[in-house]
Amino acid sequence: MFAWRSPSSKPYRDLRGKATEEELIEMMVNEPRLIRRPILTDDSQIIFGFKQGAYDELI
């Protein structure tokens, strides 16, 4: 759910694959633009980011 391709993540890209889940969550708490959007759920699954095929299957 971390938005690695977001312009806001540029300063953190060297941490990709190195940061722990807790560190990534802390970064997202401090900088919400690092959360991949949109978020779609049907209460049984969650889809992060826009994926047309996944959206079509969910709807």
- Render pLDDT for 4-33 as a digit per residue (tens, 0 to 9): 999 999 999 999 999 999 999 999 999 999
Exposure string of 21-56, with b = 16+ CB inside 10 Å and e = fewer, is eeebeebbeeeeebbbeeebeeeeeebbeeeeeeee
- The whole-number average pLDDT for the span 46-56 is 88
pLDDT at residue 30, as a whole number: 96
Nearest to 48 by CA among 29, 34, 59: 34
pLDDT digits (tens, 9 = 90+) for 1-12: 999 999 999 999
Structure tokens at 20: 């722990």
In this structure, what DSSP letter does residue 48 have?
Answer: E
Would you list the domain boundaries of the chain?
Answer: 7-58
